[in-house]
Amino acid sequence: MIDIAVLRADPDRVRENIKKKFQDHKLPLVDEALSLDEKRRALQTEGDSLRASRNSLSKKIGQLMREKKSEEAEAVKAEVARDAARLAEIEKQSEETGARLKEIMMRIPNFVSDETPIGRDDSENVERQRFLEPKVPDFEVPYHLDILEKLSGIDIDSARRTSGQGFYYLTGDIARLHSAVLAYARDFMIGKGFTYCIPPFMIRSDVVSGVMSFEEMDGMMYKIEGEDLYLIGTSEHSMIGRFMNTTLDEKQLPLTLTSYSPCFRKEKGAHGLEERGIYRIHQFEKQEMIVICKPEESEAWYEKMWNYTVELFVSMEIPVRTLECCTGDLADLKYRSVDVEAWSPRQKKYFEVGSCSNLTDAQARRLGIRYKDDKGSKFAHTLNNTVVAPPRMLIAFVENHLRADGSVHIPEVLRPYMGGQKEIVPQK
C-alpha cells in the first residue's frame, strides 16, 4: 500500500505506475481515492470544529447556570445536543469513508523500481545472469515422475485416492533426499547469520490481507471453514505477520530470519504437460528467508538474498539463471523481483524454482510494521525469498544428476544429511 500523501501530492505518478503494470482498469481508483481522502479530511475538520465548540459551549452552560440564566442555558444545551448528533453522524461517515479509502488504497499497486523492465507478463522477463554451464546428457532424460517411480520414491496413485489431484507420497531415499535438502538449506542460511524459525501454519484474515493482494488471496489461500483462519501459502505470510502492529527499535534491524513450513495452495487454473507431476501441487514444504530492514538497506539485501539461493543451488551442482521480473509479472505489493530458474536437461530450458522480492514499505504499511530512530517512527522495508522448495528442486535435482544407468548422483554437500550415501539407485 502506497502512502496516501504521495498519491495526494502526485496522482499522475501513481497513474503512470498503474499503466506500467498494465492495470489500466485500476486508473479510476486514483480519482476515487482522492475524492474519499478529501471527504475524510473535510469530515475530520468539521468534527474537530464541533468538538472544540462542544467544549466551549459546555463552559458557557456552566457560566449561564451560575448566573441563573436557565432559559439561555437550555438553549445552549439544545445546541450541544444538535452538535452531538451531527458529531455522531460525522464519526460514522468518517469510519465508513476511511474503510472504503483503505480498501481502495490496498488495490493500488506499489511503485515499481526504475530497474524493472516494462512488460506485460513473464514472457517479457529479462535474463540477468547464468551460473554453471547447462548440460544435456547423451542419453534421453525421462519425465521426472518416471525417474522418481523407478527409484521407488513417489506414489501418485495412492495420493489421488486419499487426497485427490495435486498430492503425492514421497518414499525411501527420495523422501530422505527431500528432508536432506531442507536440512541443508536450513543450516546454509543459519551459516549466513539468519535466525531459524518454525512459524504457525495458519493465520488470521487480517494477516492475509496485509501480506498479499486480494487477487493473490483468492487464487492461493485455503480457508478453514467456520474459523477466521487460513492455511499459509508460504511461511513468509506468518513470519511477516509476526511483526504486525509492532514498532521496532532501529538497533533490532535488520531482522534476518529463515523459516521452514509446509505450504498450501489452491493453484487455480489449467496447467500444461510440464506442470503435471510435482511441479504444481496443493501441498509442499519450503525453506524461506525474510528480512525487515531500514529503507536505505533494502536494495542491498535484495541482491544478497537472491545470491544466497543461487549459491545454494550451485553448491548442489544444479545450473541456474536469474530473471528480472517485468512490471506486468509483479504482484501488487512488489517493488522489484527476481526469479531463480533451474536448468532442465529434459526440456532443454530453465524453469522457476524460487523468487526474491523487495516490497519496500508497501507490506509494512498494510501491517503496521514500524521502527523508531532519533527522528521518530517510520515504516520498515520488507523482503522475502525462497531458499529452496523441494518439489521443484527435486525435478531439477534428479534431471541434472541422473546417470545413464538410472541412478542419481548425490553431491558432496548433501551426503552428511544422507548418512554418507553417494547415490540413489533404481529399485524397479
Could you please report the per-residue DSSP string of 93-148? HHHHHHHHHHHHHTTSPPPPPTTSPP-SSGGG-EEEEEES-----SSPPPPHHHHH
Please check whether residue 312 lies inside any domain of the structure: yes
Domain shared by 332 and 374, yes or no: yes
Domain shared by 207 and 352, yes or no: yes
SS3 of 315, please?
Answer: helix
Domain containing residue 77: CATH number? 1.10.287.40
Domain shared by 149 and 261, yes or no: yes
Domain shared by 13 and 40, yes or no: yes
Please check whether residue 402 lies inside any domain of the structure: yes
Domain shared by 165 and 76, yes or no: no
CA pair distance 236, 231, nearest whole angstrom: 12
Task: Please say which residue of 57, 72, 105 terminates a domain.
Answer: 105
Provide the residue range defining the domain that includes 89.
4-105
What is the pLDDT at residue 64? 72
Domain shared by 192 and 229, yes or no: yes
Cα 284 from chain centroid (whole Å): 17
| pTM > 0.75 | yes
Beta strands in 253-348 (DSSP E): 255-264, 283-293, 320-324, 336-344
Nearest to 193 by CA among 117, 260, 254: 254
Please check whether residue 413 lies inside any domain of the structure: yes
Please check whether residue 63 lies inside any domain of the structure: yes
DSSP 181-249: HHHHHHHHHHHTTPEEE---SEE-HHHHHHHS-HHHHHHHPEEPTTSS-EE-SSHHHHHHHTTTTEEEE
Cα separation of the two ends of the chain: 54
CA pair distance 211, 238, nearest whole angstrom: 9
Task: Please say which residue of 80, 105, 130 terminates a domain.
Answer: 105
How many domains in the chain? 2
CA pair distance 54, 375, nearest whole angstrom: 35
Please check whether residue 110 lies inside any domain of the structure: no
Q: What letter would DSSP give residue 414?
A: G
The values of phi and psi at residue 114, to 5°, are -65, -20
SS3 of 377, please?
Answer: strand
Domain shared by 215 and 329, yes or no: yes
Contact 222, 164 (CB under 8 A): no
Contact 394, 149 (CB under 8 A): no
Q: What angle do CA 96, 382, 217 make, to 5 degrees?
A: 55
Please check whether residue 116 lies inside any domain of the structure: no
Domain shared by 363 and 400, yes or no: yes
What is the pLDDT at residue 276? 63
Please check whether residue 170 lies inside any domain of the structure: yes
Task: Please say which residue of 79, 105, 131 terminates a domain.
Answer: 105
Helix (H) / strand (E) containing 383? strand 381-388
Nearest to 214 by CA among 382, 96, 333: 333
Domain shared by 325 and 189, yes or no: yes
CA pair distance 393, 391, nearest whole angstrom: 5
- CB atoms under 10 Å from CB of 420, counted, come to 8
Domain containing residue 270: CATH number? 3.30.930.10
Cell for 124?
Answer: 517479457
Please check whether residue 117 lies inside any domain of the structure: no
Cell for 150?
Answer: 523407478
Which stretches of the chain score pLDDT less than 50?
270, 272-273
Contact 293, 364 (CB under 8 A): no
Q: What angle do CA 269, 352, 413 make, to 5 degrees?
A: 135
Contact 309, 129 (CB under 8 A): no
What is the pLDDT at residue 270? 43
Domain shared by 237 and 369, yes or no: yes
Domain shared by 300 and 391, yes or no: yes
Cis before residue 117, ω within 30 degrees of 0?
Answer: no
Rounded CA Rg of the chain: 28
Contact 382, 253 (CB under 8 A): no
Domain shared by 131 and 87, yes or no: no
> Quick one: CA torsion of 297, 302, 304, 306, rounded to 10 degrees?
170
Cell for 291?
Answer: 528480512
